[in-house]
Structure 1
Amino acid sequence: MKRTRLAAGALCVAMAGALTLTACSGDSGDDGTKTLTFMFRGGPDEKAAYEAAIDRYTEATGVEVEMIVTDADQYATKLQAAVAGNNVPDVFYIEQATLQSYVSSGILMDITDEVAESGVDLDNIWQYGVDSYRFDGTVQGTPDGALYGLPKDVGPFSFGYNKTMLEEAGIELPDPDEPLTWEEFVEICKTLTTDTDGDGAVDQWGTGLNVQWNLQSMVWSNGGDWTNADHTQVTVDTPEFAEALQKFADLTNVDQVTPSASDAATLDTYQRWMAGEIGFFPVGPWDVSVYNDLDFEYDLIPWPTVGDAGSATWLGSLGIGVSAMTEHPQEAVNLVTYLSADAEAQQTLVDANIQVPNLIDVAEEWAAAEDAEPANRQEFLDIAQDYGRAMPAAFTYGAEWYDELWTNIQPVLDGEQTAEDYLAETQPKMQALLDESLANAEMAAGG
């Protein structure tokens, strides 16, 4: 049985009062050498980049850093186990959606003063990234909140296309600045969806999107949203939201420009994009190191627009925070500011093609490079600077209310239920869960 968000909130409050939390290092060697632990997630490229950056940090400061790296899908579980076992790393990745509970539970250190004294130019770091880790005790993301971390990065979720495929089909390449209308996008997808080898079966498709990661753009561009401005009321049961969700389902059931369920069972859409069988597909900065080695040329464009609200997409971020229990708080904060704001450390991560530069001036040079891959890197910056939005549950106390939307959505995607009917059924369930999360937040804040 699922634990309710109210119970989860009570657990966070109990943790704050019952646990005598400690850092999992903080020891000094016999020679006085200080050692920090740094826990993060990532693949071989990210690990190698951090090893190089941290080697320079140790050389410059004399502080040793023990790295604890996990796969992305194991990180949250292993960090929670470390917290539950009173073995919190000195420095660790934090997700936007967990910040409030970690602050309320006394796990994260307020680093506002230390960052101010460090001389870091926060105006040269993406504002969205910095504000994501501010919390005033009630609202997360406000510019006036205390800092409980600095951004490791920002993650603009862009839209890519197979340039080689479009050129071979004789299709005019999309404008890198002007988004396609939904009608234009679907028409191109229909042209690209074809049987290329003549065996009677479609083996190339216009697109292949995932509802949990791609519906946001469609809803926002149509003027819809998940909640009201202060995240207290769920707002999915609206004509704007329903139209966007219906058009998403129609890509498969009406327009027939995406792989069918049986096609996807054989090879999922990510694998088909990688194989050059799909025309349009999302691209995040974390994909670039892999996508640049594909057998076709790709580039970035704004997301197509369903309505008149303009191109829209989400902008994620990972933060780096400091344990409130670290025995070496100043050194831990120094490591955070180094990884987030040191130009040379950032360049090491950028050279590994795993993120957009955290520093705005470095990012502008990076986007304008003549050998940029993909060529339109500027699209990443436009999202980060201008029109990227936080994911709907990024700044709420827990995400179960948001996850509820996807629980029984399959009949809509299969064409067996209308989007309008499904949203009318689902909004009350989502609202009840959001109400619980608000109660959790109040309980934690008062604990």
Structure 2
Amino acid sequence: MKSRTRLITGAVATAMVGALALTACSGGGGGGEDDGGDKTITFMFRGGTDEKAAYQAAIDRYTEDTGVKVNMIVTDADQYATKLQAAVAGNNVPDVFYIEQASLQSYVASGVLMDITDQVAESGLDLDNIWEYGVDSYRFNGTVQGTPDGALYGLPKDVGPFSFGYNKTMLEDAGIELPDKDTPLTWEEFVDICKKLTTDTDGDGAVDQWGTGLNVQWNLQSMVWSNGGDWTNEDHTQVTVDTPEFAEALQKFADLTNIDKVTPSASDAATLDTYQRWMAGEIGFFPVGPWDVSVYNDLDFDYDLIPWPTVGDAGSATWIGSLGIGVSATTEHPQDAVNLVTYLSGDPEAQQTLVDANIQIPNLIDVAQDWAAEEGAEPANRQEFLDIVQDYGRAMPAAFTYGAEWYDELWTNIQPVLDGKQTAADYLAETQPKMQTLLDESISNAEQAGGGA
């Protein structure tokens, strides 16, 4: 279930805000001197076997070049927030650690994160050659996150463009023309192909192949944005889910199961979820993140990437995730810690090690362009990942707000809509005021925290 565990957002991380504010990290950092007197710093991150092996190789090279040892603390994705919270509460914050976009403001307000602006400037790292979205995600000016004028509280470990994939083998076997890699399908075209793919392949009277199988929490964003809707207004002060554009997109999502019948039913999904069915070659269209590539490249069918289908006239849209790497404000080795961050984020050799493991796209723009054009690449249309970062990707709705509770509220009671028992418009009208109350509280909390001042 790799793709699911890697997609944890700030919803979990923001549960840490209270503990972070109470501790303020008065203790020392996690680094120190080992028994032999050599300098050692700690690096805490989350990831699976592939990511751990890639980081081990990169860090071995760092230690060889600098003489600084790095103690890696690795957790599963769903355990990371809890274990980091325990480290903060125990005044034992790692010298270097992963940070989520949605937790950055609370880390700054509670004094956990070090402002690394000056050290990065002095390092000689060319920030212009790192994706602007990634760098700005970890800037904060005391009021607004994600703007070029903010101080740097981390550097991107990666950017994660959430692309759309299709089972090329399935479409070819069905005699269906392959989608254009540059022109998004209209919603009508997409549903029509999905209907053709949804079938009983073994003749036992039960459907065992479906056009698609999407998760509302990770895939509704594309549909809403392409239809001209959004979760909030531009300055993130007003929840805007109760609009016709938003309602139409959510209704079409539910209709994929209840009206179009091109997705596995609830009982089908209970037997084998849609991620597993995609892996088994039973689903035609499914999302693909860079973190999935190392697994998807070993599947028994060919797949490739295309733009997300469009519900309305606003153009193809999707989200870009990111993880950052930050430095503890109480580290005993601030310069070495910053050096490790700049190395992991922007050193060409370190980046190549991580990219070769098929766990992310390159942070460095020039390297990424060569990577996308590589002969014989899998998936063949790697350029789609770059197009998302450069052209049509957006931050998740709660990425730059002070907490994600307001955003999470949308999913709390959404199941009746997905089951066809409540209209999207009615549900959104009920839910918008609840979301607005939580967003107002989030804004008030941010003001009280003073943006880390």
TM-score interval w.r.t. the shorter chain? over 0.9
* Shift, 1:362, TM fit: 0.6
**Equivalent pair of 1:6/1:436 in contact (CA under 8 Å):** no
TM-superposition CA deviations, 1:354-378 (whole Å, max 9, x none): 0000101111111000111000000
Q: Are 2:20 and 1:20 equivalent residues in the alignment?
A: no
Q: SS in structure 2 opposite 1:139?
A: coil
Distance 1:327 1:304, change over 3 A: same
**Equivalent pair of 1:189/1:206 in contact (CA under 8 Å):** yes
TM-score (ref. length: structure 2)? 0.95
1:439 to 438, 444, 453: 444
Report the counterpart of residue 317 of structure 1 in structure 2: 322
Q: Are 2:258 and 1:250 equivalent residues in the alignment?
A: no
Q: Counterparts of 1:319-398 in structure 2 under 5 Å?
A: 319-398=324-403
1:216 to 221, 227, 240: 221
TM-superposition CA deviations, 1:166-196 (whole Å, max 9, x none): 0000000000010000000000000000000
Report the counterpart of residue 60 of structure 2 in structure 1: 55
Distance 2:19 2:270 in 1: 39
Distance 2:388 2:82 in 1: 30
**Equivalent pair of 1:10/1:444 in contact (CA under 8 Å):** no
**Equivalent pair of 2:20/2:89 in contact (CA under 8 Å):** no
Distance 1:365 1:164 in 2: 27
Q: Counterparts of 1:34-433 in structure 2 under 5 Å?
A: 34-433=39-438
**Equivalent pair of 1:97/1:393 in contact (CA under 8 Å):** yes
**Equivalent pair of 1:6/1:440 in contact (CA under 8 Å):** no
Q: SS in structure 2 opposite 1:389?
A: strand
**Equivalent pair of 1:135/1:141 in contact (CA under 8 Å):** yes
Distance 1:29 1:203, change over 3 A: closer
**Equivalent pair of 1:12/1:444 in contact (CA under 8 Å):** no
**Equivalent pair of 2:30/2:92 in contact (CA under 8 Å):** yes
Counterpart residue identity of residue 191, structure 2:
V
**Equivalent pair of 1:129/1:151 in contact (CA under 8 Å):** yes
Distance 1:48 1:56 in 2: 13
Question: Gaps spanning 5+ residues in structure 2: where?
Answer: 1-12
Counterpart residue identity of residue 311, structure 1:
S
Counterpart residue identity of residue 23, structure 1:
G
**Equivalent pair of 2:140/2:150 in contact (CA under 8 Å):** yes
* Shift, 1:445, TM fit: 1.2
* Shift, 1:10, TM fit: 5.8
Distance 1:272 1:309 in 2: 31
Q: SS in structure 2 opposite 1:243?
A: helix
Q: CA RMSD in A?
A: 1.4
Report the counterpart of residue 8 of structure 2 in structure 1: none
TM-superposition CA deviations, 1:239-286 (whole Å, max 9, x none): 000000000000000000000000000000000000000000000000
Q: SS in structure 2 opposite 1:279?
A: strand
Name the % identity: 86
Instruction: Count residues in correspondence.
Output: 440
Q: SS in structure 1 opposite 2:33?
A: coil
Distance 1:326 1:13 in 2: 18
Q: SS in structure 2 opposite 1:185?
A: helix
* Shift, 1:28, TM fit: 2.5
* Shift, 1:112, TM fit: 0.2
**Equivalent pair of 1:9/1:444 in contact (CA under 8 Å):** no
Counterpart residue identity of residue 260, structure 2:
D
* Shift, 1:30, TM fit: 6.0
**Equivalent pair of 2:227/2:313 in contact (CA under 8 Å):** yes
Distance 1:441 1:12, change over 3 A: farther
* Shift, 1:29, TM fit: 4.1
Distance 2:366 2:14 in 1: 44
**Equivalent pair of 2:97/2:325 in contact (CA under 8 Å):** yes
Report the counterpart of residue 10 of structure 2 in structure 1: none
Question: Gaps spanning 5+ residues in structure 1: where?
Answer: none
Q: SS in structure 1 opposite 2:237?
A: coil
TM-superposition CA deviations, 1:341-396 (whole Å, max 9, x none): 00000000000000000101111111000111000000000001111100000000
TM-superposition CA deviations, 1:203-258 (whole Å, max 9, x none): 00000000000000000000000001111110000000000000000000000000
**Equivalent pair of 1:23/1:325 in contact (CA under 8 Å):** yes
TM-superposition CA deviations, 1:149-181 (whole Å, max 9, x none): 000000000000000000000000000010000
* Shift, 1:24, TM fit: 1.7
Distance 1:372 1:22 in 2: 46
Distance 2:362 2:144 in 1: 27
Distance 1:90 1:59, change over 3 A: same
Q: SS in structure 2 opposite 1:228?
A: coil
TM-superposition CA deviations, 1:310-366 (whole Å, max 9, x none): 000000000000000001100000000000000000000000000000101111111
